Structure 1
Amino acid sequence: MSLDGAYDEGNIFAKILRGEAPAARIYEDSHVLAFMDVFPQARGHVLVIPKHSRARNLMDEEPEVLRELILGVQRVTRAVRAALNPDGIVVTQFNGSTAGQTIFHLHFHIIPRWEGVPVGRHASGGMADMEELKALAHQIAEKIS
């Protein structure tokens, strides 16, 4: 999909927000939801999305929503660091299919990195074990401040 288009109410993140699809939830407040990526690039890969948004990408979003979203991203990134002790953390966001975006609901990726451990390719590889994701979600959630 291009950078422009209509928001799809049937996208998986919209379904998660409506409770129609499962997710290993980490953190939620009135503005954001954080949950484990089911196709992780690394152990502890987390997604953070705005709860009340129909923005397909960063450029579509209102500044007030972005403020709360990035604060949520920062809060969860700190918790990932505290819980998993990675050597580094990638925080990224894609805009348009050519840039790698596969779900057209604004979202950020938080990907912990360890020295010498390769990262998987975005949107490829197998689905993670849901029980393992739930355990990681709980471990990270305990570190939310």
Structure 2
Amino acid sequence: MLKPFLSSSFVSGTRLIQRPLYYTKRTMSTHSHLDDDCIFCKIIRGEIPSFKLVETDKCYSFVDIEPLSEGHSLIIPKYHAEFMHQLPDDYLTDILPIAKQIAKAAKFEQYNVLQNNGRLANQAVPHVHFHVIDKPNTSTGLGLTWKPLKTDMDSIKTRYEEIKRNL
């Protein structure tokens, strides 16, 4: 039996509920939001084997079989959505606590937590997923090129005001 090393809290009515992040019970009947043809939905349903790490009522995590570094892991919501903004908020609540738990358990000293949305953003599987990728040296793990745009404060302020108005 797996023991949790941290717990997740949520409020139900006026009570604070504590629950462990490791679950042994699957509640597949509540996951009617899975796609028949999606590889990650098939992993969640147990149709495709995986190296499962942590499972909660809303998320499933496992070791990536095409890793960028040793221990590279994925966290997927048990709800099929291609883009993060399409995912109901309650399916996001366990993701960062699970990412933290994996990084600690794998003893990653430096690492990336990555989530891509769409093909242009390098999303290979059209199901929301988060990567936890160890960065042990300059050549292993995720490689990024950061190219800041040449802009000015007026342009930044205009975009800020638009975003702020839409929040």
The interval holding the TM-score normalised by the smaller chain is 0.5 to 0.7
Residue from 20, 41, 61 that aligns with 2:68: 41
Task: Tell me what 1:66 maps to.
Answer: 92
Runs of 4 or more consecutive aligned structure 1 residues displaced over 3 Å after TM superposition: none
Unaligned runs of 5+ in 2: 1-33, 144-167
TM-score by length of 2: 0.59
Secondary structure of 2:95's aligned partner: helix
Question: How many residues are treated as equivalent by the alignment?
Answer: 110
Q: When you count helix as a share of all residues, which structure comes out higher?
A: 1
User: Contact 2:133 / 2:142 at 8 angstroms: preserved in 1?
Assistant: no
Return the index of the structure with the highest Cα Rg.
2
Identity of aligned residues (%): 30
Measured after TM superposition, the shift of residue 116 of structure 1 is: 4.1
Give CA-to-partner distance per residue, 1:69-98, whole Å, 9 cap, x none.
2332232232222xxxx3311100000011
Q: Taking CA–CA contacts closer than 8 Å with sequence separation of 6 or more, which of the two structures ends up with the larger relative contact order?
A: 1
Unaligned runs of 5+ in 1: 1-6, 122-145
1:90 equivalenced with 2:112 (yes/no): yes
Give CA-to-partner distance per residue, 1:6-60, whole Å, 9 cap, x none.
x853111011011111111111122211101111111110000112x12112111
Task: Tell me what 1:114 maps to.
Answer: 136
User: Contact 1:8 / 1:104 at 8 angstroms: preserved in 2?
Assistant: no
Cα-Cα RMSD: 1.9
User: Contact 2:61 / 2:74 at 8 angstroms: preserved in 1?
Assistant: yes
TM-score by length of 1: 0.68
User: Contact 2:51 / 2:62 at 8 angstroms: preserved in 1?
Assistant: yes
